[in-house]
Amino acid sequence: MNVSYATGDPLAEAADATIVPVGTVDGKADPAHLAAVDRALAGELARLVAEARFTGSLGSTMAVSTLGHMAPRRLVLTGVGAADAVDRRAITRAWGAAAVAARDAGASAIVSSPPPTGTALTPDAALAAGAEGVRIALYRFDTYRGAGRGDGPTKEVASCRFIGGTIPDGEAARALILAEAIAAGVALARDLVNEPANVLNPEAMAERARRVAAASNLEIEVLGVEDLAEIGAGAITAVGRGSANGPRLIRLRYRPNAEDAEPVANAGTAARVVGLVGKCITFDTGGYSIKTYEGMLEMKGDMAGGAAVLGTMSALRALRCPVAVDATICAAENMISGEAFRPGDVLTAMNGVTIEVLSTDAEGRLVLADGLVDAARRGATELIDLATLTGAAVVALGEGTTALFASDDPLADRLLRAAALTGERAWRMPLIEELNEKIKGDVGDIKNTGGRGGGAITAALFLQRFSEGLPWAHFDIAGSARSAKGGPAGPKGATGVGVRTLLAYLTQPSA
C-alpha cells in the first residue's frame, strides 16, 4: 500500500472513499465538521448522521455514499471524540477504524483529510499517527492464503493519500517514513507470531534475525547448543533439549549513528545501553508437565516476546533511535523426548543460581533467566523483558492488557507513558517481596513455580533474581499478544504488542 501526502482539498479529489474526521460536541457529531460535506449533499448528511445516531465517538465510523454528487464516491466519517482528548492514540485508532471501514466497503483508492492536532500534537505528528493507524489496521497474514478458499479475491487498499493542511514536504515525508517503519516492525512481529511452529523453529527465528540485521545494519551473533554449554547457560539448554530443533540464543546489537546519538549526561558515566530480552518458545507443549488440548492450541505464539524484540530492532535504524540497544532472544522449543528435561531436575543458570524444576511448563522463566544474565554481562545498563509468561496474568487483567512489573519506579513510569502514547494497554503489578517465600528452593536456590496464588507475581520475582541488580522491567504479554477478534488495531490473531511501546520508549525523549 502506498501512503502519501499533498496539500489541497480532500473533498475535491476523486477517491473510492475519503476519510473525514468528526468530533463530538455535547454528545453529538460536531456540526462544524459536517458543514462542508453537508452543503455538497444538500443537507442530507446531517439528517443521515442524526438518524444513525453517529456521535463522532472515538472508534465509531459511518460510511456514506455520495451517489455522484461529489468527487469521492463515498465518505467514511470517523469519530475522533472530544477535541481536548485528541492525541496520538486517538488518531491511530480513529484512522485504523476508518481504514477498515473503507476496505470492507470495497475501496481501493483512499483519500484522507489531515488528522486533527488536538491540543498537543504537531501537524506532522498527527499525520504520522494517522498513517500508522491505517497501516496497522490493514495488516493481513496471507502467507498461506491459497486459491482453494473459494471466497474470491480479497479486498485490498492500494493507496491512501492524505490531502490538506500545510505540512512542509520534508516534514510530511519524514512523518510517513516513521509511520511506515513502526508499522513494518509491528507487521514483522505479527508475521512471526502467526507463522506456524513447523515453519518457525528456533533456527528459523535466527535466520529471520539475520535478515533483519543485514537490512538495518545491526550486529548479530547466534549461539547454538554447544556455545550455550560453553557459557554455562544451563537453563535454556535444558528447555531446548527435548526438541530435535535445538535452542538458539540470538544476540543483536544496535548502535546509533554518531549524529543521532543522545549526549552522555555526565562525562565519565557509562553510556546507556538498553537490554531487551524476549521469550521465544517457538512451541510450548508444556514438556512432561504436558498441557491439555485446549491449553496447547495457541502455543505457536509462545514466541511473541522474541517477536516483539525483533520487530522493535528492525525499526531502530529507520527511526534514528538515539539510544544503544542490545537484544537477546531466547529461542527454544519445549517438547517431549528421551532427552527432554523433567520435573525434579536441578539446573544451573549462567549466573550460577541453581533452579529446581517443579514444572517443565514453567519454561519461559528458565530461558529468560539465562537471557537476562547474558544481556547484563554484555553491558546493558537497564533490562526490559517481554514474555507470554503466565496464564495468571491473563486471569488477573483479562485479554488485551499487558502486565508490567518493574524494580525501578522511574523506568516503570516511562514505560507506562510510552504505552499510553501508543494505545497499547499496560497495567503495573506489584513485586510483593514476601512471595519470594513461595519460590524458595528445597534442594536448589530457587524453584521454577510458586503455586497458583499470585502466579504472575512469583514468575516475575523469579526473573528478578536474574536481573543482576540492574533497573529491570518485565512485560507479561500472555493476555495481549493475540486477540480473539479483529478491531481498529488489526485483524484477529497476533497483535505485535510491545513493538510500539518499546519504540516510543526508545525514540521519544519525552516518553
Active-site residue list: 291, 365
Q: What end-to-end distance do the CA atoms of the chain give, in Å?
A: 30
Which residue, 368 or 506, has its beta carbon nearer to ligand BES?
368
Q: Select the binding partner of residue 13 from Mn ion, Zn ion, ligand BES, none (C-beta < 5 to 8 A, by kind).
A: none
Cell triple for residue 144? 498461506
59, 130, 168, 474 from 180: Cα distances, Å: 22, 11, 18, 27
Binding site for ligand BES (CB under 6 A): 284, 302, 359, 361-364, 388-392, 394, 449, 455, 478
C-beta pairs of 169-178 under 8 Å, 24+ apart in sequence: 171/124, 172/5, 172/124, 172/127, 173/5, 174/124, 175/5, 175/124, 175/125, 175/127, 175/128, 175/131, 176/3, 176/4, 176/5, 176/127, 176/128, 176/131, 177/318, 178/128, 178/318, 178/319
Torsional class of 257: left (φ above 0), alpha (ψ -120 to 50), beta (otherwise): beta
Residue pair 323/201 in contact by the 8 Å Cβ criterion: no
Which residue, 214 or 432, has its beta carbon nearer to ligand BES?
432
Minimum CB–partner distance for residue 168 and ligand BES (Å): 46
Give residues 274-333 in contact with Mn ion (rule: CB under 5 A). Answer: 284
Minimum CB–partner distance for residue 224 and Zn ion (Å): 21
Contact map string, positions 271 to 290, toward Zn ion, x by CB under 5 A:
----------x--x------
- Helices 499-507 and 169-194: crossing angle in degrees, nearest 10, is 140
Binding region for Mn ion (CB under 5 A) out of 85-93, 198-206, 323-331, 360-368: 360-368
Minimum CB–partner distance for residue 289 and ligand BES (Å): 7
Which residue, 13 or 363, has its beta carbon nearer to Mn ion?
363
Of all helices (H) and strands (E), which one includes residue 58? none
The reply on whether position 247 binds Zn ion by CB under 5 A is: no
Does the annotation list 284 as a binding residue?
yes
Does the annotation list 180 as a binding residue?
no
Distance CA 430, CA 448 (A): 19
**SS3 at position 91:** helix
Which residue, 284 or 345, has its beta carbon nearer to Zn ion?
284
Residue nearest to ligand BES (CB): 391
Q: Select the binding partner of residue 333 from Mn ion, Zn ion, ligand BES, none (C-beta < 5 to 8 A, by kind).
A: none
Residue nearest to Mn ion (CB): 361
**SS3 at position 258:** coil
Minimum CB–partner distance for residue 482 and ligand BES (Å): 8
Distance CA 494, CA 503 (A): 18
Q: Select the binding partner of residue 455 from ligand BES, Mn ion, Zn ion, none (C-beta < 5 to 8 A, by kind).
A: ligand BES
Binding region for Zn ion (CB under 5 A) out of 75-83, 216-224, 294-302, 465-473: 294-302
Does the annotation list 156 as a binding residue?
no
Q: Select the binding partner of residue 391 from Mn ion, ligand BES, Zn ion, none (C-beta < 5 to 8 A, by kind).
A: ligand BES
Among 124, 361, 382, 476, binds Mn ion (CB under 5 A): 361
Contact map string, positions 298 to 317, toward Zn ion, x by CB under 5 A:
----x---------------
Which residue, 267 or 484, has its beta carbon nearer to ligand BES?
484
Which residue, 177 or 296, has its beta carbon nearer to Mn ion?
296
**SS3 at position 127:** helix
Q: Judged by CB under 5 A, how many residues of this single chain contact Mn ion?
A: 3
Residue 266 corresponds to which amino acid? Answer: N
Distance CA 58, CA 473 (A): 31
Does the annotation list 363 as a binding residue?
yes
Cell triple for residue 104? 470492507
Distance CA 474, CA 496 (A): 16
CB neighbour list of residue 268: distance below 8 Å, 6 or more residues apart: none
Distance CA 276, CA 123 (A): 32
Residue numbering of the annotated binding site: 279, 284, 302, 361, 363
Name the residues that contact Zn ion, by CB under 5 A. 281, 284, 302, 364
Name the residues that contact Mn ion, by CB under 5 A. 284, 361, 363
Residue numbering of the annotated binding site for Mn(2+): 279, 284, 302, 361, 363
